[in-house]
Structure 1
Amino acid sequence: MSIASGLVEAYVMKKLHEEKTKNFEKNEAITHENCNQSKKSSSSSSSSSGDWFTKMFKKVQPVTAPSSDSATKS
């Protein structure tokens, strides 16, 4: 009889674990969808600002103006 009770306990623990895993996966999916929706709404509002972060690190090439010495030598 003790072997049967051990099997029943293992079966019940397995079922509880499966239910807990399903609920966890549902919550993760819902959280992931909510996160994606908030990213979409924030990206549409930030696109109007024009990617300020990439512009902040844009390389600026120095302008090479002809020097007065080269103009007089020609």
Structure 2
Amino acid sequence: MGIEATTVRAVAARAECTTGLIMHRFGSRSEMLVHARQTLFERTAARADSADSAGGITAAECLAAVVCTA
């Protein structure tokens, strides 16, 4: 299990599209995984910024909010 078991076929099935569409967009499994990692980092950073700007919470509460949604 885990990232090693992630296949283009499994991603296509989950996205309800063809493997050809995935390969057209990303070119390779490796590029698909890099994109997924970058998206995760960007979304986590956005959540951290949002939680930080909420005000009225401690740094620990902010961290917990971000970690729980990642």
Query: Please, what TM-score do these two structures have when normalized by structure 2?
Result: 0.41
Structure with the greater relative contact order (CA < 8 A, sep ≥ 6): 1 or 2?
A: 2
